[in-house]
Structure 1
């Protein structure tokens, strides 16, 4: 080999090594921040995914009844019994409608202190089976941990940041794995249990990461539209561009102006289709001399419109309120939102999947898959495998760091003096920072900290 050729080879190897270490450094920073949140997301997400199976086991005496041959009591009779069992100042706000013969009937009340409480009844004889706090139910606590760490808005922003930084972790992780020398698919995609020590942990971490990368990306992209900062702005932008729920979703009947500031997301519903979250809630015609239609009439009307059981009805709480029906099934194509005048029974608005814009349709399918609802138990198992696999990634990453950590140091991979420009990666990070401004601010902060605080150049073992 000539001297010139040898110099070129050495230079190329050095550049590749420098690029590798730069990617590794950013992968380390992303993992350092993301991994603790991924453990929380993995555990709470898996539990919430199996909510239909878990809740009956946690609250069997509240949720499960023995099916009987006798007819069920009417919704109005059951609602009257529920009201009698609750404090006088409690107000019924939501009626989940479930027709399964083995399930109890539930009504949700808002107490005088603002808390919500569910009361459960045997639909065959009206026996009150007990009450549960809506906010303190096990699955609701898990859901709030998943969304905002039980910390309110700050926790919600932290979880959003963790999701955005996961994109950096995925990108740098795939780049670190990408074969730089001739290798077989088996060596790249299957773990090598013959290795020992840190080499085995690194191999497990790498292979698991590649298998989980696509599912993790799908999780992140389908979850971000529900976040409180970026997701809220994204929803507003989609609606403004007629890519969410366009004005064409309004029914043919003339509508009174909506209640000031009241949109679908403000209603006491456990889940609301993403597409209709910003939809204004219309009003009933204020008919002082008329009596509001009973709940049973509304249930019969909804059935005649082709909506099966498994939906929620928000009850009107004022003279101009409406009955709001939210049907949020596993298949997004069947989603339905109806607003019904409480006096005349007129359908003021009927929003269906066909009215959604392109973005809302995509988000609806992403949500159903994200929650493990779209194709039944197989979807639940797939989501659980991805979630628990991410928790495993956190464990292997921590073990690798622990085994190579230096004393009295963060242990970040060192930065090379002659690192290549890596313009493509820098451009990608800038674009991510523009699309996700909150992430962009933290990217800048990490970059500044990396240059000023953690700017060591000494090599550490790979």
Structure 2
């Protein structure tokens, strides 16, 4: 039974690697690229981030916004990223078709330059890493599935390493044994940190991410503060993970509420009673909210300004310490602080991921975090390389040379292990049903062939 159990792990390990390796290589390389996106962007976009306009007249931020909207007539500002010196202020401008443009204002609030968000380095790396730059639910699920099966590859590799002879000294090791030894040794060393890196990235995933967030919503004591929820929108991408799906409160109803409102506030025709951005920034300062932070414009006549600081924004110069995370809502007419949700208000689950996501992204504790993540990712690529070489040394011509499947019976230990993984990673659990069905078909086919041979 033990030999059959080993072969079962070996067989599933082999097929998982065969099908998932191309995806895992893509995810690992894009992850390495994303680790250093701030360093890359600080050099690639020096003009937009740090340079000054040739126009030296001092404007207010509201005048700068108005000038940007006059320059890009089909766009209106929906978001402002107010950064610390020496970074310039970044505006997110959106047109009626949903297309976006980043516009940068210097310290005089004069226009320095603009970008197409879709093709910035950080967004390209993020899109490749999360959705292979293709997008769509199916692709997002496929990426998540690859991450889940990577967990299985690492854990099953640990089992086979200690149950097999991979690390035992051989007097005259063959080429295959040498490759297998390096594959097993390095895989064993990186399993724990790699599992942490993968799990801290799953809150962003399509299936498990929603599952985790729903759990945090339903159980405020361990998750996020109990607020009415609604689906996220693209304008919430710089809001902290723990409050991203929170429904903002409404501004005060009254005479101002009768002004023209839209699904998304077009600030070029904003209500006359709406406070200016400078007034909002003054109110944020009174509330002890210092730069860097993002400002999200109100949605409709009853919407509020959202001002937030996050530890996982994906914007160069905007990330803060998890302890400093805060999401605040200000009345768009009076500027009054309506409500505030900070790190101290999170439940244990939300706090865990508030730390875990920047750990995954490589900026939780500076350069050391980046270096550790880089070493683990490069080691993971080497593990895949030596695994591939091990397979090639035993692969027969015109054959996949899959490990043998001695019996169709599954041991209790194997079943318990897979059920636990399936419960922890629901999408992985669903995929297991398909794998079991395929195994049953192959087993039935082999039995049928053996019966025919016996006849």
Same fold (TM over 0.5): yes
**Counterpart Cα distance in 1 of 2:446 and 2:52:** 68
Matches for 1:53-92 after TM superposition, within 5 Å = 53-65=39-51, 73-87=59-73, 89-92=74-77
Deviation string, structure 1 residues 191-210 (Cα, Å, up to 9, x no partner): 99x96622222122111111
2:290 to 304, 308, 330: 308
1:208 to 162, 169, 186: 186
Give the equivalent residue in structure 1 for 2:196.
218
Matches for 1:231-380 after TM superposition, within 5 Å = 231-242=209-220, 243-247=222-226, 262-263=230-231, 265-286=232-253, 287=256, 288=258, 291-329=273-311, 330-380=320-370
Contact 1:328 1:336 in 2 (8 A): yes
The TM-score, its normalising length taken from structure 1, stands at 0.83
**What is the alpha-carbon root mean square deviation over aligned residues?**
2.8
Q: Tell me, yes or no, if structure 1 residue 121 matches structure 2 residue 105.
A: yes
Deviation at 1:304, TM superposition (A): 2.3
Q: Tell me, yes or no, if structure 1 residue 107 matches structure 2 residue 97.
A: no
**Counterpart Cα distance in 2 of 1:67 and 1:135:** 24
Match of 2:235, SS? coil
Give the equivalent residue in structure 2 for 1:172.
156
**Counterpart Cα distance in 2 of 1:273 and 1:422:** 44
Deviation at 1:360, TM superposition (A): 0.8
Contact 2:238 2:294 in 1 (8 A): no
1:136 to 107, 111, 119: 119
Deviation string, structure 1 residues 426-448 (Cα, Å, up to 9, x no partner): 11212322443332222121122
Deviation at 1:339, TM superposition (A): 0.9
Match of 1:401, SS? helix
Give the equivalent residue in structure 1 for 2:38.
52
Give the equivalent residue in structure 2 for 1:444.
433
Contact 1:336 1:351 in 2 (8 A): yes
**Counterpart Cα distance in 2 of 1:66 and 1:203:** 56
Give the equivalent residue in structure 1 for 2:383.
393
**Counterpart Cα distance in 1 of 2:157 and 2:76:** 52
**Counterpart Cα distance in 2 of 1:130 and 1:335:** 29
Deviation at 1:218, TM superposition (A): 0.4
1:98 to 65, 83, 86: 83
Distance 1:67 1:387, change over 3 A: farther
Deviation string, structure 1 residues 309-349 (Cα, Å, up to 9, x no partner): 12111112432221111201342121100111111111122
Give the equivalent residue in structure 2 for 1:426.
415
Contact 1:115 1:135 in 2 (8 A): no
Deviation string, structure 1 residues 91-144 (Cα, Å, up to 9, x no partner): 10000010212x2221110023211111122223x4422211112222212101
Contact 1:78 1:123 in 2 (8 A): no
Deviation at 1:387, TM superposition (A): 1.8
Match of 1:365, SS? helix
Q: Tell me, yes or no, if structure 1 residue 43 matches structure 2 residue 29.
A: yes
**Counterpart Cα distance in 1 of 2:118 and 2:335:** 32
Runs ≥4 in structure 1, deviation > 4 angstroms? 70-73, 454-457
Distance 1:403 1:28, change over 3 A: same
**Counterpart Cα distance in 1 of 2:419 and 2:148:** 13
**Counterpart Cα distance in 2 of 1:357 and 1:416:** 48
Q: Tell me, yes or no, if structure 1 residue 409 matches structure 2 residue 393.
A: no
Match of 1:113, SS? coil
Q: Which runs of 5+ in 2 are unaligned?
A: 260-271, 312-319, 448-455
Task: Select between 71-80 and 313-322 the one with higher mean Cα deviation.
Answer: 71-80
Distance 1:294 1:268, change over 3 A: same
The TM-score, its normalising length taken from structure 2, stands at 0.84
Q: Which runs of 5+ in 1 are unaligned?
A: 1-14, 251-257, 458-462
- Equivalent pairs, count: 419
Deviation at 1:237, TM superposition (A): 2.0
**Counterpart Cα distance in 2 of 1:316 and 1:51:** 30
**Counterpart Cα distance in 1 of 2:75 and 2:25:** 39
Deviation at 1:233, TM superposition (A): 2.2
Matches for 1:24-35 after TM superposition, within 5 Å = 24-35=10-21
Deviation at 1:179, TM superposition (A): 5.7
Contact 1:313 1:323 in 2 (8 A): yes
